[in-house]
A and B are shown apart, each in its own frame.
Chain A
Amino acid sequence: MKPRSFVKRRHFQSGELALQITSMADIFTILLIFLLKGYATDAATVQPTGGLRLPAAAQSAPIREALKIEVTPAGVLLEGIPLIEAKDFGNPSHASWQTFDGSLAAAKKKQELIAASNSDVALQGRFTLIADQQAPWPLLREVLKRAAANGFMEPQLAVVKKGD
């Protein structure tokens, strides 16, 4: 059987050629539906900052929406905003920890205000710790300690699911 050409000769008289893009439209529609489905079903998404390598684990739970604290080799970020500079997990300054405390307190206050105005929203102490696999425990402990002091008592430790 002779394969069909993707170039359709429409009018021999005029010599005009047209690309047959129906099949391409079909492929694009399927791709679009697939991507939109994936986009819509992700209840909570986490996009780790560049240069951050998460540890891998096989049996982790699905992520839930919460305040995000990132510990990267360059510093500590709260909701994507860099608050503490710590080159190669070095010792951050006292002033930057105070800024971090202030931002955590503001985040808690915001949650309290939302919970007070909307009875459907429960006040929670959950937060997601997205840390580099080489992040040292003393730095993580300090972050956890300050989070706890501001009412965030339930850390969710982020990992990459093995096999992905």
Chain B
Amino acid sequence: MNVSSGGSSSGRGRGSSADFDLNLAPIIDCFTVLIAFLLASASFLTIGIFETTLPVPSAAGSQQANPQARLDVILSVQPSNQIQLSWSGVQTGSQKIEATDGKLPITALEPILTQLKGQVPTGGVATLELRASETAVYADLIQLIENVRPHFPGIALGGF
């Protein structure tokens, strides 16, 4: 980097040009170390979360407080990836959804959940308890939660 000191011709250093070079080498050294450190510690994957709750035993009493203003759905995953839905509150009922090619019937589940959610009066509460089978894995739970959450934001993990 050439920086002119300007004005006077009584410059120091090399001759009469009064030009000097900043020594950037130590700055580059520091930057290289810092960048290497930051790149090594950087996380390139964005990790997100699904917020859930665990069922509280005392909640049973509150559920009975006003059954006409709430809908409590229990979604149970069977070992063969069938889904058993049962609900109580504004409506009571149950439905079994068969597995699709041995996989969780996510596509068939969506319209049923939409219909159930439509039964909840304005200002009412809709809860969903998710019970997985002994053969289910974490990825299955996440797949279900991701598809259920738009209809039932408050998901509780149950079956303890």
Chain A residues, Cβ within 8 Å of B142: 55, 57, 133, 157, 159
Query: In the complex, are the beta carbons of A157 and B141 less than 8 A apart?
Result: yes
Among B27, B32, B43, B47, the residue within 8 A (CB) of A54 is B47
Write the chain B residue with the least CB distance to A134: B137
Interface bits B116-160 vs A (CB < 8 Å: 1, else 0): 000000000000000011111111111101100110000001011
**A122 at interface, CB cutoff 8 A:** no
Query: Shortest distance in angstroms between B149's beta carbon and chain A's nearest beta carbon?
Result: 7
Interface bits B36-60 vs A (CB < 8 Å: 1, else 0): 0011011111111111111010000
Query: In the complex, are the beta carbons of B51 and A156 less than 8 A apart?
Result: yes
Stretch at the interface among A61-69, A94-102, A112-120: A61-69
**B65 at interface, CB cutoff 8 A:** no
**A148 at interface, CB cutoff 8 A:** yes
Write the chain B residue with the least CB distance to A45: B43
Interface bits B1-36 vs A (CB < 8 Å: 1, else 0): 100000000000010000001001101100110110
Query: In the complex, are the beta carbons of B28 and A160 less than 8 A apart?
Result: no
**A31 at interface, CB cutoff 8 A:** yes
How far is A160 from B146 in the complex, measured between Cα atoms in Å? 12
Classify the secondary structure of B's interface with A: mixed
Chain A residues, Cβ within 8 Å of B139: 55, 133-134
Query: In the complex, are the beta carbons of A57 and B48 less than 8 A apart?
Result: yes
How far is A141 from B24 in the complex, measured between Cα atoms in Å? 58
Chain A residues, Cβ within 8 Å of B24: 21-22, 25
How far is A29 from B30 in the complex, measured between Cα atoms in Å? 11
Query: Shortest distance in angstroms between A52's beta carbon and chain B's nearest beta carbon?
Result: 11
Among A39, A137, A147, the residue within 8 A (CB) of B41 is A39
**A138 at interface, CB cutoff 8 A:** yes
Query: In the complex, are the beta carbons of A25 and B31 less than 8 A apart?
Result: yes
Write the chain A residue with the least CB distance to B146: A57
How far is A141 from B157 in the complex, measured between Cα atoms in Å? 9
* 7 smallest beta-carbon distances between A and B, as pairs: A60-B48, A28-B31, A35-B38, A133-B139, A156-B49, A55-B139, A137-B136
Apart from A47-B43, A64-B49, A156-B51, what are 8 other A-B pairs with CB-CB below 8 Å? A32-B38, A36-B38, A39-B42, A60-B49, A133-B137, A137-B135, A153-B56, A161-B46
- What are 5 residue pairs bridging A and B, where the CB atoms are less than 8 Å apart in the complex? A29-B31, A137-B141, A156-B49, A157-B141, A158-B48
- By a beta-carbon cutoff of 8 Å, the part of chain A in contact with chain B is 10-11, 18, 21-22, 24-25, 28-29, 31-32, 35-36, 38-39, 42, 45-48, 54-55, 57-64, 71, 128, 131-138, 140-141, 144-145, 147-148, 153-161, 164
